[in-house]
Structure 1
Amino acid sequence: MNKRKIVFISIAFVAIIYTIYSYFSPSNDGKIYLTTKVTKGNFINEVVTSGEAQSTSLKKINGPENLRKFRLREIKIQDLVPEGTIVKKGDYVGRLDPSDVNEQIIDARLNLEGAEAKYTQQQLDTTLSLKQERNALKDLSFNMEETKLELKQSTYEPPATIKKLENNLEKLVRDFNEKKENYKIKKRQANAKMVEVGTRVSKIRKELENLLDLLKSFTIYSNGNGMITYIREWNGAKKKVGSSISPWDPSIASLPDLTKMESKTYANEVDIRKIKKGLPVKVGFDAFPDVELNGVVTDVANVGENKRGSDIKVFQVLIKLTESDTNIRPGMTTSNRILTFEKKDVLSIPLEAVFSKDSITYVYTKAGFSINKKEVKIGNANNDAVIIEKGLTENDIVYLNKPEGLEKEKIITLN
């Protein structure tokens, strides 16, 4: 066979192959079709959320706890060490605004001065009054002695004179005894009055001492060793300089236990149905991309709450870290991959390869030079892929986008 004949036969063979391929393949008009193989392996479904690291065990650093006693409702934080500061027990943490306490101290000092002046005045009045009473008793006592002497010397006087002296003496004795009783009563009254004004002085002095002690407690020191973290208020904002403490919540900072950490996150209404206590979690940290710790779901909220700035309902999920890392700090942003489903040695394909019509789920598979529409039975799905329970085998090639010209092709159903 000469070379010319071989060339003609080759060209004819290629033309026949091209004709067959063109006949059995849909016209794509230059369109590119993406394909992928059916893979076999472990299939997982994860819910991915972002959250915040926090300690499950912390010691609060509080301001004065007796603010209500001094009628103080809201006290502003005047100074606070930066969050993340490492402190030891007794180290300075912050200071509260003393303005309201200083006003009460000034009032207490003025009240104390007035009470002490009143005490001194009462003391002088009492001394003078009792001195006058004692002098009156002495005068009566002298008059009684003089009358007794006159009565003694009146032995030879007329009976009327003697009787008169006896009556005078009896009257003086009666006046003396009455004056003596009055003196005792007035002394008790003076003592009671002195006790009253003295008690007021002591009370105001004690209030002043308490206020001065309270003022000292406005400088806050650490009650333990650790790293300072800021306390969150009811609205989620952190307490900082300019924030306030109250008698009901006197805390200004905390010392978390960094060996007992958790991730607080929120899931939407769709994903929350998949999340249950005990599910394993992989927790990553934006600040340390190379760090990934194991965790477990410990709490799933039953009631949703509105996401801030939106009407979307979210549900709180708490994830306990079962491992620890010295680099992790409260407040760090976390990425949480919650494993909700896992099945081993199953077939799966991307979601884009699955189509449906009249409740029949099917795929486009490559069969030599042609394309078949084939029914499949699917199982669980995640955000990227779906399990194929029946209809395909490993390494089968499926199309990720719908080939044109095959809409009316019959679907090959499952047996």
Structure 2
Amino acid sequence: MNIIFGFHRGSRAKFYIYIFGFAILTLILTVYIGCKSTTNDEVETFEVQYGEFIVDVEVTGELKAHRSENIKGSRLVSTNLKIAKLAPEGETVKEGDFLIQFDTSEIEDKIEEQKLDLAEKNLELEALLAKKEIDSIKLERELKIQQLSFEQQKMNFALAQFKPKSEQRKMQVKMEQAETNYNDKLDEIKSKKLEGRETINRKYNEVKKISNLINTTKKQIESSTIYAPIPGLVVYKEVYTGLGSYEKIRVGSTVYYHDILIELPDLSKMCVKAELSEIDIANVKLDQEVIVTIDRDESVYPGSVIYIAPIERLVYTTAADGTRKERSVYDMEIAIGNTENDGSLKPGMAATCRIITDKFQNTLYIPVQAVFEMGDETFVYVKDDGKYKKTPVVVGKNNKDYIIIEEGLESGQLVTIGDPYKKLQEIQRNIKEKTKIQDEKRETKMYR
């Protein structure tokens, strides 16, 4: 019984030794294969490219319409306006389409009163004109009588030359009296005509004033409906509602004539409003080519620089520790081409713009992460037959991602992204750490 038991225990010990040896061998093979594959995979390489190289400045901004109209209330109507009807917000309208209708009920009542006043004044004017005609006929008749009397006395005076002096004197007095009466009648007629003309002119002015008021009121009614001066997108604006509060316009809102009620951006021509740093301002010029990418769907459009502010603007930011920092920026605008006016581009969309400041043809370039500097030496690591060779290079201009290689490399060569030896050291450290952890786990199991 003891012999059998002892033999059984010896066989089990050998069995565990074989199992342990097999596990160690498997672990060594795994570590070796893992080390080899990791070394090959984690040292990233890049093939030297040959072709066109673009130097650019990247800015971000948001879309706005190149042309936009602010729609205000009509000053002709009154200081306070009540909105009766509105074009839907977000609707694209053409030039001449309806936008806003103000309530005109008070104006329509006012024009009816003015029409009644005008009719009354016209009746008064007609009465004055009729009276003038009658008075004119009467005065002309009286003047004619005075004229005949004067002429009669003149004839009598002429015939009295052969009569005594006393008779001549009487005839002369009568003639002079008749002449005076005639002249007085002339003056009276002139005075009454002038007075009548002034009265009629005043009445004419009253009629004209009321007529002008009616025309103004009609214009008020016409101007109470506002139409789109340009094609664009209907965007409601906020107006002051009292007690420091603002809200978007709506049907029933009471607004002032100077309030901006609707913004009407013309979507047929869009641009990007962006900020340019003082570092990049020297490299950016008007009319430079731009590649515009819309962040929402990554659609790409051609563009060009159309505006650069002549004066810098200070922008203030607050850091996490509460300190306030300032930086200088230049406002700029980039026109977008080929929008096709389909409404896909809307104001406020975020965009990334690559402003092309220079282009180089037939040149070599690699990622900027592949170039190293140590003292006065600039070099890269070229991968050749599984080894990494430190290779001096002469570099040229660069953009955000790539740099030109003027000397030292050829098209198609492989360069490493980052220092390959640091990568290998990291890989070896990772392998040692993994091996240590596995050894600790194995020892823990053996003790159990």
TM-score by length of 1: 0.58
Query: Which residue of structure 1 lines up, in the alignment, with residue 364 of structure 2?
Result: 346
Cα distance, 1:398–1:49 mapped onto 2, change above 3 Å: closer
Cα offset, 1:93, TM superposition: 0.8
Pairing of 1:82-93 with structure 2 (within 5 A): 82-87=88-93, 91-93=97-99
Query: Which residue of structure 1 lines up, in the alignment, with residue 300 of structure 2?
Result: 292
The structure with the greater share of residues assigned to helix is 2
Query: Which residue of structure 1 lines up, in the alignment, with residue 214 of structure 2?
Result: 209
CA deviations 1:14-72 (Å, max 9, x no partner) are 9xxx9xxxxxxxxxxxxxx96432422254444333344455577x697799x6xx799
AA at the equivalent of 2:414: N
Pairing of 1:5-20 with structure 2 (within 5 A): none
Query: Which residue of structure 2 lines up, in the alignment, with residue 360 of structure 1?
Result: 377
AA at the equivalent of 2:340: S
Instruction: Judge conservation of contact 2:308–2:330 (CA < 8 Å) in 1.
Output: no
**Structure 2: unaligned runs, 5 residues or longer:** 1-24, 33-40, 157-163, 238-247, 250-254, 318-326, 426-448
Instruction: Provide the rounded CA distance (Å) in 1 between the counterparts of 2:366 and 2:142.
Output: 119
Instruction: Provide the rounded CA distance (Å) in 2 between the counterparts of 1:210 and 1:251.
Output: 26
Cα offset, 1:357, TM superposition: 3.9
Pair 1:301-2:326 in alignment: no
Provide the secondary structure at the position in 2 that maps to 1:399: coil
AA at the equivalent of 1:348: I
Pair 1:379-2:396 in alignment: yes
Instruction: Provide the rounded CA distance (Å) in 1 between the counterparts of 2:335 and 2:189.
Output: 80
Provide the secondary structure at the position in 2 that maps to 1:270: coil
Query: Which residue of structure 2 lines up, in the alignment, with residue 177 of structure 1?
Result: 182
Cα distance, 1:403–1:61 mapped onto 2, change above 3 Å: closer
AA at the equivalent of 2:337: L
Query: Which residue of structure 2 lines up, in the alignment, with residue 312 of structure 1?
Result: 328
Instruction: Provide the rounded CA distance (Å) in 1 between the counterparts of 2:304 and 2:94.
Output: 33
Instruction: Provide the rounded CA distance (Å) in 2 between the counterparts of 1:401 and 1:392.
Output: 18
Instruction: Provide the rounded CA distance (Å) in 1 between the counterparts of 2:311 and 2:339.
Output: 29
Cα offset, 1:274, TM superposition: 3.3
Q: 1:399 aligns with which of 415, 418, 440?
A: 418
Instruction: Judge conservation of contact 1:36–1:400 (CA < 8 Å) in 2.
Output: no
Instruction: Provide the rounded CA distance (Å) in 2 between the counterparts of 1:359 and 1:227.
Output: 59
Pair 1:388-2:398 in alignment: no
CA deviations 1:380-412 (Å, max 9, x no partner) are 2222333333345621435348849x9xxxxxx
Cα offset, 1:184, TM superposition: 2.0
Query: Which residue of structure 2 lines up, in the alignment, with residue 274 of structure 1?
Result: 283
Instruction: Provide the rounded CA distance (Å) in 1 between the counterparts of 2:114 and 2:60.
Output: 56
Cα distance, 1:134–1:34 mapped onto 2, change above 3 Å: same
Pair 1:94-2:72 in alignment: no
Instruction: Judge conservation of contact 2:278–2:329 (CA < 8 Å) in 1.
Output: yes
CA deviations 1:196-225 (Å, max 9, x no partner) are 313431442243034213312332343679
Instruction: Provide the rounded CA distance (Å) in 1 between the counterparts of 2:299 and 2:91.
Output: 23
Query: Which residue of structure 2 lines up, in the alignment, with residue 156 of structure 1?
Result: none
Q: CA RMSD in A?
A: 5.8
**Structure 1: unaligned runs, 5 residues or longer:** 1-10, 19-32, 152-158, 233-239, 407-415
Q: 2:354 aligns with which of 337, 342, 350?
A: 337
Provide the secondary structure at the position in 1 that maps to 2:100: strand
Cα offset, 1:371, TM superposition: 7.5
Q: Tell me the number of residue pairs that the alignment of Structure 1 and Structure 2 aligns.
A: 342
Instruction: Provide the rounded CA distance (Å) in 1 between the counterparts of 2:315 and 2:222.
Output: 37
Instruction: Provide the rounded CA distance (Å) in 1 between the counterparts of 2:225 and 2:316.
Output: 36
Instruction: Judge conservation of contact 1:285–1:332 (CA < 8 Å) in 2.
Output: no
Instruction: Provide the rounded CA distance (Å) in 2 between the counterparts of 1:285 and 1:378.
Output: 32
CA deviations 1:116-170 (Å, max 9, x no partner) are 59x77x959x86x969x959959x86xx79x99xx9xxxxxxx999889857754
Query: Which residue of structure 2 lines up, in the alignment, with residue 198 of structure 1?
Result: 203
Instruction: Provide the rounded CA distance (Å) in 2 between the counterparts of 1:273 and 1:402.
Output: 39
